[in-house]
Chains A and B, each alone.
Chain A
Amino acid sequence: MEEAKAYIETGILELYVLGQLTVIEQQEVEEMAAEYPIIREEITAIEIAMEKYAVFHAITPTSGLEKKIFEKIIPSNINHSTENSPKIVPLHSDHSASTIRTLRFALVACAGLLILSFVALYAMNDKLGLANEQIVSLTNDKEKFASNATYMKDANKDLQEIAAITDDPTWTVVKLGGTTIAPKAKLRVFWHKSGQHVMVDNTRMSLPENDSKHQYQLWAIVKGKPVDLGVFDADTQPAKLLLAMKEVGDAQAFAVTLEKRGGSATPTMEKMIVQGAVSI
């Protein structure tokens, strides 16, 4: 009992209540209080006095504070027992709001790109059509040129052959003059007597143009009798400059008559346009 009183007198219990002691000192006081009820009572008396002293110096908080504190404490309490926190909701909606905003921008951008794509596609299609037209016309041109080139090559070959024939003594050039029904008509025929070749020179041809129902027919006069050498057309722009006719080895004269298309077995004498004898 004396020990307890002496302990109280040290003033350590006041410091204990004021929170001035170290953890070890606190434990010492608590052990003493557990051992001596008088020390326990003394501590409680000091606490009550300090409590009243504090209440005496109380300052009333502003009126909104209570609500603020309860809002902070009570929702966190609810969190323990129930799963849904209302705090999470605005966070989520904020997120989705910004996501929606982003998606909206993306949608507008997509629509813009789509329109742009269509415009570009239309322009490209237009150009492609134009290009296709150009390709077609170029192809046509090319074909034209190609056929032209082929024609010219052929013509050149024919011209060279004509030149060679006129220079070659083995070829006989037979000039056919116009008859009374066509005084201005004329034709040149090349004849290779030993080879039996007969060619009509289209470059020097001057015959009236025949219609689609008629054709000219070349005849060789062999021993007084006409021999068919084939038919030909008289075009202003002939496909070939040198026409190969049927072969004949012996002929005294050549003549051309206007016959029905495809030719006749015997010549229509009144339609003889040109004729010419072979001059040796």
Chain B
Amino acid sequence: MAPTKKISLTEEDLVRALKGKETIAIQALYDMYSGALLGVISRIIQQPEVAEDLLQETFIKIWNSADSYDSTKGRLFTWMINLARNLSIDKIRSKDFRNSNKNQDIENNVDFIDSQRKITFNADTLGLRDMVTALKPEFNDVLNMVYFKGYTHVEAAEELNLPLGTVKTRIRMAIMELRKHFN
């Protein structure tokens, strides 16, 4: 998938370079995480052009607010993906965006996007697709709503008509399953 040389840095070096405003940091971040970030953005925002605009916004925000990232609170990617998700949710809830997308069903975003677009399989995770899709749907659906669709876990509970505690449990179970597969 990558004929050109990709930059990959350790988390520590990456954070140091980013905070030092070294342009290599943004290049490394793009090479390492642009696809993963766009994967999340694209499942919240269906239009590819808008999603890519948001990815651009996300990288600019990552670059400009690097000082506010605190490595003691979590990994860099977690911070980045939460930035991307929040920008996407802000966008989808903005008036002008809602007006132009009234009739679209947010429910089937993941399936829709996956059927419309070519999914890049990371070499490390290649072959895991079957395992992931084999996750218990009732657990996985809640996680996907929160992780990929921009729902809060409270909104997900309301949508699925489930107690908040059940939603929390299902998210935890789904992630436990993921950890079993990935770790």
Contacts and interface: CB of A to CB of B under 8 A. Distances in A.
B131 to A, nearest CB: 10
B146 to A, nearest CB: 5
B9 interface: no
A12 B55 CA distance: 28
Given A15-B168, A62-B52, A50 B21 contact: no
B81 interface: yes
A19 B86 contact: yes
B152 A57 contact: no
B75 A45 contact: no
A54 to B, nearest CB: 4
A56 B132 contact: yes
Given A15-B168, A74-B23, A53 B147 contact: yes
B138 interface: no
Contacts of A18: 146-147, 153, 171
Contact of B36 (A10, A49, A58, A74): A58
A51 B36 contact: yes
Interface stretch (A65-73, A223-231, A236-244): A65-73
A4 interface: no
B40 A57 contact: yes
Interface in B154-183: 168-169, 171-172, 175, 178-179, 182-183
Contacts of A80: 21
B120 interface: yes
Given A57-B36, A65-B55, A77-B23, A52 B124 contact: yes
Q: Is the interface of A mostly helix, strand, loop or mixed?
A: helix
Given A15-B171, A20-B146, A60-B118, A48 B183 contact: yes
Interface residues of A, number: 43
Contacts of B1: 60
B128 to A, nearest CB: 6
Interface residues of B, number: 59
A52 B38 contact: no
A57 B126 CA distance: 11
Contact of B169 (A11, A58, A62, A72): A11
B120 A45 contact: no
B34 A61 contact: yes
A80 B38 CA distance: 29
B87 interface: no
A97 B42 CA distance: 43
A44 interface: yes
Interface of A: 10-12, 14-20, 26, 30, 34, 43-62, 65-66, 68-70, 72-74, 77, 80
Given A53-B147, A57-B40, A73-B59, 17 more contacts: A14-B172, A18-B171, A19-B82, A20-B153, A45-B183, A46-B175, A48-B75, A50-B175, A52-B124, A52-B125, A53-B178, A56-B125, A56-B132, A57-B39, A58-B120, A59-B113, A70-B26
